[in-house]
Each structure stands twice: as C-alpha cells, then as structure tokens.
Amino acid sequence: MPKVTYIEYNDAAHEVDVPIGRSVMQGAVENGVPGIDADCGGACACATCHVYVAPDWLARVGSRGEREEEMLGFAAETQPNSRLACQIKMTAELEGLVVRMPEGQH
C-alpha cells in the first residue's frame, strides 16, 4: 500500500498508508491526521483539505481541475503547488508522496 507523508505547519510528520484509489484527503481523515478537516467530505465543495504538494511530486499528481481551481480561490495562503487533497487519488506511482498543510490549518 502506498505511503503518504503529511507534514503539519509545525513540521510534525505523519506517515500513513493510503490504499490505491482512495484520496489523499481520505487517507488523512481515516488516520486522524490533524489539519485536514474535509468539511465537504471530499466533494470538492470547500477548501478545508488544502495542501502543498512537494515540488518534485507535482507532475505525478496531475493538474488541477476547473472545480478545484475555483475552490482554491477560497483557500488562504495558496501557492503554485496548492492542491485539494480530495482531488488527488492514490496510485502505486504516488508511493512516498509528501504534502504539507498551510499555517491556517491546524
């Protein structure tokens, strides 16, 4: 099962197994990772699962969809590597993915 490392703003790291086909957001919620609230349950209707994808992973996670771009407009502290964790589906190629949470998400 692929592993994802979630890094909180205070640098606390959480390495979690996330099954293929599940979202990065689901992996965080199901494993109690702080900073991923997922208020909409993964419907891409909020920005409470906002993460920064480590630069060397950007090409592998794919690009943002139109709806995701729209929702990121409501997120604070966006950067070029901002994504919604609910929109990143785990694949075997994402083994070792690293994402960070913005300061405003604790």
List the pLDDT tens digit at each of the 106 positions of the chain: 999 999 999 999 999 999 999 999 999 999 999 999 999 999 999 999 999 999 999 999 999 999 999 999 989 899 999 999 999 999 999 999 999 999 877 6
CATH topology of domain 3-100: Ubiquitin-like (UB roll) (3.10.20)
Strands 13-17 and 3-7: antiparallel
- The DSSP element (H or E) to which 26 belongs, if any, is helix 24-30
